[in-house]
Amino acid sequence: MNPSTAISPDLMLAADHYNRYPGELVTLYLHFVAPSQPAVTLQVAMPRVMQAEIYRLPPEIPSTLPSVIEHDQDIIILIPLDGHFSAGKTYDLEIGARLNTFYADQHLQVETRLVTDDAALLDSAALRLTVFGKGKYLQYLPEIYEGDDFTSRFLMLFESFWKPLSQQTDQIDHYFDPDLTPPIFVPWLASWIGMPVDASLPLERVRTLLKNALMLFQCRGTLLALKTYLEIYTAGQVRIVERRATNLVIGKAATLGMNVALGKNNRPNSLSITVAVSHTELNRTKYSAETYRRKISELVRTLVPAHVHYDVKCEFSTEQP
């Protein structure tokens, strides 16, 4: 939905479709806060080629309240706010209008206003509708059909039916973008690259993990990948201290002897991991501090090489890290 042009957020106007064909119905959505001034009228001005057919008002508002007047080349729908609308309360209205235009490309301006009885303008918003006079599918037919009005209108029927599918096809690349794909597709997109999705993780963090998936897989098993993954996963700060094994090195010079320990005296490769997060993270997960630490420890196990020993410590603060 395209944004409307408004003086303030107290009055907003939008439409379900901004590109239509002659004869089609367009739904206008009005959102406003009832002003405290007395004797205020909500006006909706539209060209005469638009005919209001449907009014969807709040249940407490009489359906007979709107009235229509003609002014120059416009029709104006009037909805008086006194007596039915409570000051300071937010309302949403819908108006269904039929486009009775001729078969030529046109741009129609629709404007809504909050006006007092002495003609003082309190707020306004506007939008523009584009009406296409010819079916777009004509470009795929021989030129002889370009001026055939019946064929154009006949093709418009199919365009209207298939428009939702066409829009999905035109925007299919958005489904593969971690930032733009709908929430329901995020786990599906993660499954394409074999990245497990924790159902308790906020959606934005999952999207960030997907955006960094290439680096995380390329650097898997390194300190960089481990630190990046944990900081995205926890929305905290991560410190890692690495200790490398020194008494057993595999290579041409490797020897076994009294100075090499394979048993309990051997010091393996190890990591000390400290995760600093806010207490709000515990409130979000509803975990105890120890349960959260164990969960992070289990996650680390999937991210480090099998021979690496590690310990995890979680620090919780009342402030964001």
What tens digit of pLDDT does each residue of 28-79 get?
999 999 998 888 999 999 999 999 999 999 998 988 899 999 988 899 999 9
Lowest mean pLDDT among 19-23, 125-129, 179-183, 217-221: 19-23
Instruction: Tell me what pLDDT residue 140 has.
Output: 85
Q: Rounded to whole angstroms, what are the CA distances from 61 to 43, 64, 95?
A: 16, 9, 14
Whether the pLDDT of residue 276 is over 80: the answer is yes
C-alpha to C-alpha distance for 177 and 210, rounded to whole angstroms: 9
Q: End-to-end alpha-carbon separation of the chain, Å?
A: 37
CB atoms within 10 A of CB 311: 11
Q: What is the largest CA-CA distance in the chain?
A: 104
Confidence label for 257 from pLDDT (cuts 50, 70 and 90): low
Q: Check residue 21 and give left, alpha or beta (phi > 0: left; psi -120 to 50: alpha).
A: beta
Q: Rounded to whole angstroms, what are the CA distances from 49 to 132, 149, 292?
A: 14, 19, 63
Query: 5 forms bridges with which residues in the sheet?
Result: 126
pLDDT (average), residues 225-253: 82
For the chain, give the mean pLDDT: 85
Instruction: Tell me what pLDDT residue 145 has.
Output: 83
Which domains are seen in the chain, by residue range? 5-133 (2.60.40.740), 212-252+260-317 (3.30.70)
Evaluate whether 178 touches 188 at the Cβ level (below 8 Å): no
Confidence label for 112 from pLDDT (cuts 50, 70 and 90): very high
Which position has the token pair 């650097």?
A: 219
Q: Check residue 161 and give left, alpha or beta (phi > 0: left; psi -120 to 50: alpha).
A: alpha
Q: Check residue 22 and give left, alpha or beta (phi > 0: left; psi -120 to 50: alpha).
A: beta
Instruction: Tell me what pLDDT residue 264 has.
Output: 53
Give the pair of three-digit tokens for residue 108: 């129609």
In b/e form, how buried is each residue of 248-262, taking b as 16+ CB within 10 angstroms?
A: eeeeeeeeeeeeeee
Which position has the token pair 């206003």?
A: 113
C-alpha to C-alpha distance for 13 and 127, rounded to whole angstroms: 7
Confidence label for 150 from pLDDT (cuts 50, 70 and 90): confident
Give the pair of three-digit tokens for residue 283: 């409130």
Q: For residue 91, give the nearest of 64, 122, 58, 50 by alpha carbon.
A: 58
pTM: 0.52
Percent of the chain at pLDDT exceeding 70: 89
At 169 the three-state DSSP class reads: helix
Whether the pLDDT of residue 237 is over 90: the answer is yes
Give the pair of three-digit tokens for residue 101: 């235009």
Rounded (5°) CA angle 46-51-57: 85
pLDDT (average), residues 225-243: 92
Residue with the larger pLDDT of the pair 243 and 129 = 129
Give the pair of three-digit tokens for residue 250: 């595999």
Instruction: Tell me what pLDDT residue 247 has.
Output: 58
Evaluate whether 221 touches 304 at the Cβ level (below 8 Å): yes
Confidence label for 3 from pLDDT (cuts 50, 70 and 90): very low
CB atoms within 10 A of CB 200: 10
Return the sign of the alpha-carbon dihedral for residues 144, 146, 148, 154. Answer: positive
Instruction: Tell me what pLDDT residue 157 has.
Output: 75
Q: Rounded to whole angstroms, what are the CA distances from 64 to 52, 70, 79, 111, 218?
A: 13, 18, 10, 22, 66
Confidence label for 295 from pLDDT (cuts 50, 70 and 90): very high
DSSP element (H, E) containing 307:
none
Confidence label for 7 from pLDDT (cuts 50, 70 and 90): very low
Instruction: Tell me what pLDDT residue 5 has.
Output: 37
Instruction: Tell me what pLDDT residue 259 has.
Output: 58
Residue with the larger pLDDT of the pair 213 and 168 = 213
Instruction: Tell me what pLDDT residue 251 has.
Output: 66
Whether the pLDDT of residue 168 is over 90: the answer is no
C-alpha to C-alpha distance for 195 and 217, rounded to whole angstroms: 10
166: Cβ–Cβ under 8 A, 6 or more apart, which residues?
A: 159
pLDDT (average), residues 119-124: 90
Percent of the chain at pLDDT exceeding 90: 41
